[in-house]
Amino acid sequence: MVLVAASRTRACAQRVTTDLRALYTFEAGRGKQVLDRSGNGRPLNLTIEKPSAVRWLKNALQIRATTRISSRGPATKLIDALKRTRAVTLEAWIRPAHARQEGPARIVTISSNARIRNLTLGQELGQFDARLRTSTTTVNGIPSLSTRPGTAGMALAHVVYTRAPSGAAVIYVDGKPSASRKLSGHLTNWDSRFRLLLGNEGSNDRPWLGTIHLVAVYSRALTAQDVARNHQAGPSGGQQPSAELVMQKRQQFFETRIAPLFSRHCLDCHDSIAGKGGLDLSRKASAMKGGKGGRVIVAGQSAGSRLWKRVAADEMPRRGKPLSAADKKLLKQWIDDGATWSGDLIDPVVYARGTRGIWIQRLTVDEYIETVRSAVGVDISKQARRLLPRDVRADGFSNTAYNLGVDLKHIEAYAKLAAIIVERMNVLKFTARFSRSRKLSTDATMRQLVEKMGKWLFRGPLEEREVTNYSGIATTVASGGGDFPEAASFIIEAMLQSPRFIYRIEHQRGDGSRWPVNDHELATRMSYIIWGGPPDRQLLQAADNGQLGTRERVTIEATRMLTDPRAVSQSARFVTQWLDLERLANLKPDPQRFTGFDSALAGDMRRETLAFFNEVAWKQKRPLSELLNAQFTYATPRLARHYGLKPQGPGLRRYDLTSVASRGGLLTQGSTLSVGGDEASMVTRGLFVLQDFLRGRVKEPPPGVDTTPVPLKAGLSQRAVSEGRLSNVACAGCHRRFETIAFGLEKFDGLGRFQQVDEHGNRLREDGTMLIPGDARPRTFKTTAELMDLLAGNDRVRQTITWKLAQFAIGRPLDAADAGTVRSIHRAAWKAGGRWTDLVTALVASDLVMMTRTQPDVESGGNQRRADDTKK
């Protein structure tokens, strides 16, 4: 009875699959190939050199004589993944042929020969032995970690070696810890040329005999609970996928294939606002309910689904090209597989762009200035802003990675700036932070200086070739009769021009899937998100110690970092870019109509918005949604008079607006109201609110449409012009999605002055209706204040704030692959209160920051284009 119960328990257990990089379950039963069943990237299949030396068993391979079972080329997808995470799990279900094998005999290895390796799990007589090459061990992985004598016998054994980023290494035997030690260091010295082998060394001189049932490699250290779970699952890796996994795959299929298809081809006519034929395909409930003619989707039956029939016959979409054969195949497959629908709303904005490539991020001018100040203590702001080309805004922000190129002007500027920085530094004082020695004759001394100083300037460990190259500068200086200060100055100047200083380089080569970033990359991401500058010593120390691998520790560090004044400055940069406050410097209204305007007033508008945000976010620590309706502002006497307020004194002062019904919140400030131009265009203002506060979109006007503004006159106000467009069937479909929002702002002129009548004597109003993207119910407001309250209380606005901050943080436009993670960030942040600190903390502790997309290389089946070799 006990045996039966145990068997049932084992059969029901599901193996851990998170961060699984390679899996061999030996199900083939014949042939000379061992297939990688991990499903992660391109399979890293193995070839049996001498098929006669092995015997295939059921879900196992018996190695009976000396042979090599190896990958055809380097185990790139494993090496890159493990180097990135500084963590590994090597798991094997084995039955040794005998307990006299030594060398150690290689069970699993990533190595070249008996003396040089990256990672090995072997058998040394009656012990299991693991060797890992790090920056603190030898190239042979010594000191190794061995289990106690007698643990390796002839019985079936489950052997698992784990090593965490912190250096904690453990060997588990049959689900229980058998040996452990601290194995510090990073894995940047791993050799990328090594193959993965089973049962022998690459040099064919460390054979292991026995039966292998399963081998798995993970890019993280499995927990004790994970190891126990895999032990409970048993040696057979060929399990049927669980219902949960099947559902996850179907949901992913919907998110990545079907939702984009609907967004591209269906939602212009069949969303919650257009709803032609009573059919709304943007939401699960309404899509499954159908339209006026009844159900259009019958789960599991494409033949009985009217949607499929119309699409198959090219009757839908009515406007635009029919679906391609590939898209039709996807739609049919989705319906036949049960029409699984993840989430609720298909948000077209999420699918507006495809998943783009991977770009490394050049430091923006602001980031460069802050990096130099934090790293070497030199304020280079004036020279940097004069010499470096201005960062150009793209996709709403000026830190968008794909737009941060480097041209000859940049290269010349970085060279000049590096020379200026070194000239203004106290070089000896700076180098003393890393080494007390002042000798040029000792290569080891200079290498130590280069390693420590380089890690500080480059925000992570140097590779061996980098240490050699920079140390060589000192050798050259010494051979020419130079001294230590001269050599150190040249080395620093060279480092300040290195791509590793100018860019935020990450190792992104992989198999195209998401991998965890390593600790130093994570520390750098966190610091540039929170501070707009490099990590401090405490954060780098945490990275050195491998302590940033958990969300709990990341949250602790983020909480500390958010108390630093640099966090306040970084939040101001976000607001400046989100609302495009730089636009105010180029604001040039008609001087005949706006006689009191000058550049100083534009500057006051910018200062108003930044001071207002600072009080909401930092002084009062209010939810960021209250930026829309907070009843106060800041103004200079000049700006107060412009707004019709009584000046309260010199300088920028706080004004209480609780008794000023017309004002309150960002959208009643001159900095945002001026987007409408001199005429206070309802089109431009409405689009601004739709795109930057409601995360909505509309298509560009059709070719040939006259977009020339209609001149206003007595009897023809902006609202009247707008209502004319809304009554035109050809225009209303798009314009009703955004233009009516601006009705609530009609009483503000092009520069934000409040007025009851316009210059033509037209009486102005502030009532109207508003449509929220994804919701067909019109929201009615009677006053500007009611409009602001509607916006502040709507979750779509809160989602947009989260989305905008996430885009700013990672420096690229978000896409469908990010949507689920951003939703999780949003829920966590607003559940915690929705404050600036809540959003930033949830963001840096999310997969959006702690994980990265990898770029497939040649072995992984893609066109190799290493992010760290590409300057885009």
Tell me the helices (H) and strands (E) count for the chain, helix number first.
31, 26
Q: Looking at the DSSP assignment, which residues form a beta bridge with residue 654?
A: 634
Q: Work out the pLDDT band at 734, boundaries 50, 70, 90.
A: confident
CA–CA separation, 404 and 528 (whole Å): 16
Torsion angle, CA of 452/453/458/461, rounded to 10 degrees?
Answer: -10
Closest CA to 108 of 24, 220, 191, 20: 24
Render pLDDT for 418-474 as a digit per residue (tens, 0 to 9).
999 999 999 999 999 999 888 876 677 889 999 999 999 999 999 889 999 999 999
CA–CA separation, 298 and 278 (whole Å): 17
Buried b (16+ CB within 10 A) or exposed e, 491-512: bbbebbebebbbbbbbbbbbbb
More confident position, 863 or 273: 273
Cβ neighbours of residue 386 under 8 Å, at least 6 residues apart?
A: none
Give me the mean pLDDT over the 13-31 stretch: 89
Render pLDDT for 839-849 as a digit per residue (tens, 0 to 9).
999 999 999 99
Indicate the burial class of 318 (C-beta count within 10 angstroms; 0-12, 13-18, 19 or more): exposed
Render pLDDT for 362-387 as a digit per residue (tens, 0 to 9).
999 999 999 999 999 999 999 999 99
Indicate the burial class of 539 (C-beta count within 10 angstroms; 0-12, 13-18, 19 or more): buried
Q: Work out the pLDDT band at 248, boundaries 50, 70, 90.
A: confident
What confidence score (pLDDT) does residue 871 get?
Answer: 34
What confidence score (pLDDT) does residue 7 get?
Answer: 40
Closest CA to 847 of 16, 9, 19, 70: 19
What confidence score (pLDDT) does residue 807 get?
Answer: 96
Q: What is the DSSP letter of 85?
A: H
The whole-angstrom distance between residue 184's C-alpha and the CA centroid of its chain comes to 28
Q: Where are the domains of the chain?
A: 2-240, 244-336, 435-497, 509-577+797-856, 592-793
Residue at 81: amino acid letter? A
CA angle 136, 138, 140 (to 5 degrees): 140
The whole-angstrom distance between residue 212's C-alpha and the CA centroid of its chain comes to 38
Q: What is the CA radius of gyration of the chain?
A: 32
What confidence score (pLDDT) does residue 240 get?
Answer: 53
- Is-contact 692 800, C-beta < 8 A? yes
Render pLDDT for 257-297 as a digit per residue (tens, 0 to 9).
899 999 889 988 898 887 888 999 999 999 999 999 899 99
CA–CA separation, 421 and 425 (whole Å): 6
CA–CA separation, 766 and 774 (whole Å): 24
- Is-contact 194 117, C-beta < 8 A? yes
CATH architecture type of domain 2-240: Sandwich (2.60)
What confidence score (pLDDT) does residue 512 get?
Answer: 67
Highest mean pLDDT among 494-503, 511-520, 537-546, 773-782: 494-503
